[in-house]
Amino acid sequence: MLPNRAIYDEDHQQLRDTVRRFVATEVAPNFAHWEETGIVAREFWSKAGEAGLLCPTVPEEYGGIGADFRMNMVVCEEMAYSGFAGPAADISVHSDVCLGYLIQHGTPEQKARWLPGMVDGSVVCAIAMTEPGTGSDLQGVRTTATRDGDDYVVNGQKTFISNGQHCDIVIAVTRTSTERGSGSMSLIVVETSREGFRRGRNLDKLGQLSADTSEIFFDDVRVPADNLLGGEGRGMNILMSELPQERLTIGVTALAAAQRAYDITVAYAFERKAFGKPIGDFQVNRHKLADMKTELTIGWAFADQSIGRHVNGQLNAAEASMAKLWLTEMQGRIVDQCVQLHGGYGFMREYDICRMYADARIHRIYGGTSEIMRELISRAL
């Protein structure tokens, strides 16, 4: 079970109970099918909206409850702890990543246009940063948005886009001038119903098989200039201001998933017998479990400190990078040990730990690789 922590109150516990019921009734019965088909069903979004799980920080005037980011973390933790990583990732990108750009940098008209649908699940949001030749180096983005009268004309290709198949709007990282520097980068919201927008293939991944991850294409897509988010040439500044929240979210997701891996492994270790006794009774295995328990306890203290600082507007880029780096690397260590303790059964996909091992690997890559996190931390030394 996830630990009880002082950072949360009774309202957060009520939301936890809601998430657990939602997982039991709407996710668990459908998850195997979604994994097989490589995508969650579209009705998953409307049901998540009905349950109140989407975008809790949206102000009341736009259909939300105006909560602080701790409510997001409750949903994030419980979805990750469920072990159903695909649906967890889809919701997190929508609520914890994309939403911040619109709340912090959108105009009142933009918020009124898109936020109510993001709350009720009728509008799914994606953010398009990565391109086939551009990963962590965002300044290498080549997608262009050329001003033509009252419109921008968007051309380019993006890949590894979470929610790419279901999204109704995409926050696209583009170049709005021919200059090389970051001052030429802008964010433009593209409705996917516009002519020239194309969805490519739903990508075949190592893990998170039911997560919606796609290629998308912009072929002379005309978008009103009013869809510019936060001002022309401010794209990099906006990205840098919002990426700490994304990185904290990935870290907390990794931690909750690591807790789940540990919990199911403890149960297995004291059920599975070898040489006439449970494998958890062997000192070498007990000590491995003790090390994992210690790391998880440290991780939750670190996560709570980081969440508290973020809610209070104090979490800086280096601290968020530390959270993502340490928590995701810790998850990698723990799931690896958990597979080892399961022995041959840990290599079988019918056992949850096998799937969780594959699902975990992406956390050290997306949102900024561990190597990039170390570079960002080193700049603040």
Q: What residues are labeled active site?
A: 246
- 153 token code pair: 């004309």
- The DSSP line for 100-161 is HHHHHH--HHHHHHHHHHHHHTSS-EEEE--BTTBSS-GGG---EEEEETTEEEEEEEEEEE
Q: Which amino acid is at 50?
A: E
- 160 token code pair: 């590894």
Rounded-to-integer distance, Cα 129 and Cα 143, Å? 9
End-to-end CA distance of the chain: 36
CB 190 within 8 A of CB 223: yes
Q: Which helix (H) or strand (E) holds 59?
A: none
Number of C-beta neighbours around residue 28 at 10 A? 13
CB 152 within 8 A of CB 228: yes
Nearest to residue 216, comparing CAs of 169, 250, 182? 169
